[in-house]
Structure 1
Amino acid sequence: MTENIYPTYYELCKSAPLLARKAIVRAYEETGNISEVARLFRTTRKTVRKVVRRWRERGEEGFKDLSRRPKSSPRRTSAAVEGLIVAERKKTGYGRDRLARILREKGLEVKASTVRYVLRRYKLSIKYKRSRYRRRNRFYDFESLYPLQHFQVDLKEVYDSTTLSEQTLRWAKRLNIPPYRWTAIDVKTRLRFISYSYEKTFTNGLMFMLLVIYFVRSFGIEHKITLQTDNGEEFGGKSVDKLEYLNKKVFAPLQAELLHIPKGKKEYQAFVVRSHQTDDNEFYIPQIERCADLKEFYFRALRWEFMYNTKRHHSTLGMTPFRKLTMERKISKLVALFPVMQLEKLNDLYFKLFPQTGYHVSTNDQYY
């Protein structure tokens, strides 16, 4: 037997570990000498002895890799805690930070990193969608913004068949829940104000924005207020002349401004649009079917608004919106209780304020 007919044990293990161990055993059977086999494969005698011993004890099974799992893991998360994490994840679909926070609120001290490892172990990790906006731009100078200064305002259809179940939609129609929700979110603090309407009209849009301005002013806010919207007709449409008229005649006397985002720049409304998903998951899906009538729905909507502003932890802020607001200025907690109402009830007031016609724009959307 010559040395050159055998590749090294290391070279064989890189491509075929089972064949490498079989070659060791075959050479040992031919030579009967541990040292000679170790020299031929240019490895240690300890390695040869280990391969031969496993082959004698377990036969063909001895050629397979053994588990590298430690015999004991005293710091491993208990099965009970893992079960709670998995159950909460399947129930809510939340990420690691929020799951860890929920479990801590229940009295179970769990780190976000622990939740991450458990989710990975059970193959429940989130599959992140690739954002179409690869470059993350900062649209606001948050350091120079005042609280309750810049609002993103948007309209959301409540009857969303892609999110709500057919049973939930049927119950919502039975209660005659308004199909449109108007939302204003403060960019600085993420404090949110909401109202509802049965019609998608400029009348309702303007009254909602005025309601936001007067509500904020009632708490002693004196700086300029900016209301940022898309170019929908319910917010004045694409007409530059109409936007100038509204700012000059309606908003400027209130030390406010209506600002339309550039066409096709939906990312400018990211905060308010993202909050719609939160409403679907945490309010409409679990709460609508619990409402006995329309009055209870408005009560639950007001309670949800207050909870969102004062008790719900905001992941980006690391605190609640109201807590963020109080860090900037001293203000009453009543600011978190914007009146959740049906905007059509303000129509009489609208026509007294703006007797001119031509701005009541409606759509043909049918829900009933």
Structure 2
Amino acid sequence: MNIISYHELRKISPQKAREVVRKVFEANNRNVSKTAKILGIARATVRRAVYDCLEDKSRRPKNSPKKLKSEFEDIIVEEAKRTGFRYRRLSTYLQKKYGLVISENTIKSVLKRNKVPKKTRKTKKGERSLYDYEALIPFSEFQLDTKHLLDKESLPKEVYEHMKNYRLPRYEWNMIDVATRTRFTAYSYELNSTFGFMFISIVALWLRVHNVRGRMKIRMDNGMEFCGGSERKLNEWNEIFEKLDLQLSPIPPKAKHLMGVIENTHRADDEYFLMIHAERC
């Protein structure tokens, strides 16, 4: 017959293990040393089982001087639900917006403790890279796109209201070098092809002035702020920009995935600029 030791019984049920200690203790004339010897435990363990309660006491410390303040924890939970960020991006976001330096592990614990749900994104597996990045020459391949700042999909409601009330620019123009991720940005109140032509010209001239000599190719969509799908207009623009050794290359219809590099910058703008700084303007 196998006899279960005190330590094995304690793993099954701490309460039953202490009840056994009390029975042995009473059967041996309340002798602490003898009880400890029979059960193979320390005398202090016998005293705790006899004179304390049967349930385990909480191991939570009485004082936690480094514990995160409740108001900071409320901010973490609120911003996590509002933005959908997880611990890594949320740590950077809180530092930039509130000046709070909180470690990623602390934020992870707060989110887990408050059961903040994680937002998931569907991604397609097995897709090829847009470019051969190892062979890519700096300032040779660009992506060009615009962003409607009041699209009411990616920013909190209060940010949109602030931008409307203070009549901030409605449109953001972006051109990014794929190899170096160098980005050129401008803002406007209107969206038309005149501004599109001016933006491309300014960026191209700036690059040429700063000794960028190679041929440049700009990938863009078929929006009305550029060539709008017009073959005649595209040829006219390319003829003009050929003097700067620059070529415009529109993407095919319904091929927005080819603009993945510039689209990611829109998301970064939302998270690390507009969400934080728009209401300060």
Contact 2:21 2:50 in 1 (8 A): no
Question: Could you report, residue by residue, the CA deviation over 1:305-326 in whole angstroms, capped at 9, with x for unpaired residues?
Answer: xxxxxxxxxxxxxxxxxxxxxx
Match of 2:147 in 1: 156
Correspondences of 1:184-195 after superposition (within 5 Å): 184-195=175-186
Contact 2:149 2:171 in 1 (8 A): yes
Contact 2:36 2:46 in 1 (8 A): no
CA change 1:122–1:230 in 2 (3 A) is same
Match of 1:256 in 2: 246
Q: Does 1:284 align with 2:275?
A: no
Match of 2:26 in 1: 29
Counterpart residue identity of residue 41, structure 2: R
Match of 1:272 in 2: 265
CA distance in 1, matches of 2:240, 2:96: 44
Match of 1:181 among 159, 166, 172: 172
TM-score by length of 2: 0.67
Question: Could you report, residue by residue, the CA deviation over 1:339-362 in whole angstroms, capped at 9, with x for unpaired residues?
Answer: xxxxxxxxxxxxxxxxxxxxxxxx
Q: List gaps (5 residues or longer) in structure 2.
A: 81-88
TM-score by length of 1: 0.54
Q: CA deviation at 1:53?
A: 0.7
Q: List gaps (5 residues or longer) in structure 1.
A: 39-43, 288-368
Q: CA deviation at 1:54?
A: 0.5
Q: CA deviation at 1:160?
A: 4.1
Q: Does 1:202 align with 2:193?
A: yes
Match of 2:48 in 1: 54
Question: Could you report, residue by residue, the CA deviation over 1:274-307 in whole angstroms, capped at 9, with x for unpaired residues?
Answer: 24313412432221xxxxxxxxxxxxxxxxxxxx
Match of 1:329 in 2: none
Question: Could you report, residue by residue, the CA deviation over 1:144-194 in whole angstroms, capped at 9, with x for unpaired residues?
Answer: 44443333222111334452526414423xx4x442221222333433322
Match of 1:219 in 2: 210
Secondary structure (helix, strand or coil) at the match of 1:59 reads: coil
Q: Tell me the percent identity.
A: 25
Q: Count how many residue pairs are aligned between Structure 1 and Structure 2.
A: 258
User: After TM superposition, what 4+ stretches of structure 1 lie above 6 angstroms from structure 2?
Assistant: 98-103, 124-127
Counterpart residue identity of residue 107, structure 2: L
Q: Does 1:116 align with 2:110?
A: no
Question: Could you report, residue by residue, the CA deviation over 1:16-71 in whole angstroms, capped at 9, with x for unpaired residues?
Answer: 22223323333443455526752xxxxx332xx343210333233xx4155276x9
Q: CA deviation at 1:121?
A: 4.9
CA distance in 1, matches of 2:275, 2:96: 18
Contact 1:157 1:180 in 2 (8 A): yes
